[in-house]
Structure 1
Amino acid sequence: MTDRMPNRIFADVAELTRSLGHPHRLQLLDLISESEHSVERLAELSGLSIANASQHLQQLKRAGFVAARRNGKHVLYGLGDGPILPLLAALCHYAEHRRAGISAFAMDTLTRQASLEAITREELLRRMREESITLLGPCSTAENVKKSST
């Protein structure tokens, strides 16, 4: 991928993803994806102050995720051009994938903890001498464990 894409593209992508890097901005995009809204209405729907909602909208607007148009005395915010909805859907899908992985890890950890047993220091040392267990420290890696067991 790096051979085909110039570094400036990566810089642009990094800047775009930074503009999405706040839960309030994602929430505002979600609300705008349903229909255009004024900053006042977006603030009300999101529970943000008008000033806070406005700051987030300006950042989204600079990145092109949001477009503004005047309607009488109000400015309405809608989605900008481009495949914004598929991008948001992909990000949400990835977040769900990660959450599922984290949940599976947490469940596995809880299951293992339920089967833990308390042992004395002497029992720990005996089992280590018998090599029936391997003691891991906070900086242990799979590679270090393999090296120490060979």
Structure 2
Amino acid sequence: MPTPLYVCKAEFFKMLGHPVRIRVLELLQERPHAVADLLGAIEIEASSLSQQLAVLRRAGIVVSQREGGAVVYRLATSDISDLLRAARRILTDMMSGQEDLLAELRELQGGEGA
């Protein structure tokens, strides 16, 4: 029996559900990066970064290539950039709604003190 699509999607989003992985993808969205560059930008232990890159590589989200003495990573597809932009738009809309609610609550709270 094949795995239902919704289960595959859940596994995909679970794989993305780590702050270091998201940060790596954001950096790779700008341009390919050598591991040393990623280490400098993210400021974590090399072993931790290696583990997170391995997860992304196994999932087919990133690809690596040796260039001289460095291993350079890039996004496997531009669809990942589209996904990150969509997430940013969704979060911006969500935060905007929260700001409106907060302003309304502050307005109500100000009326109570009068």
Higher radius of gyration, 1 or 2: 1
Measured against aligned partners, the alpha-carbon deviations of 1:20-76 in whole angstroms (never above 9, x if no partner) come to 212221111111111211222101012222222222211222222211112233211
Describe the superposition over 1:86-142 as per-residue Cα deviations: whole angstroms up to 9, x where unpaired: 111111110111111111111111111111149xxxxxxxxxxxxxxxxxxxxxxxx
| 2:75 counterpart residue number | 79
Q: How does 1:93-112 map to 2 (within 5 A)?
A: 93-112=89-108
Alignment partner of 1:20 is 2:20: no
> Does the 8 Å contact 1:33/1:85 carry over to 2?
yes
Counterparts in 2 of 1:52-131, with a 5 A limit? 52-81=48-77, 83-117=79-113
RMSD: 1.9
State the match for 1:136 in structure 2: none
Structure 1: runs of 5+ lacking an equivalent: 1-5, 119-150
TM-score by length of 2: 0.86
Aligned runs of 1:21-40 on 2, under 5 Å?
Answer: 21-40=17-36
Percent identity, aligned pairs only, is 30
Q: Which runs of 5+ in 2 are unaligned?
A: none
Q: Relative contact order: is structure 1 or structure 2 higher (C-alpha 8 Å, sep ≥ 6)? A: 2
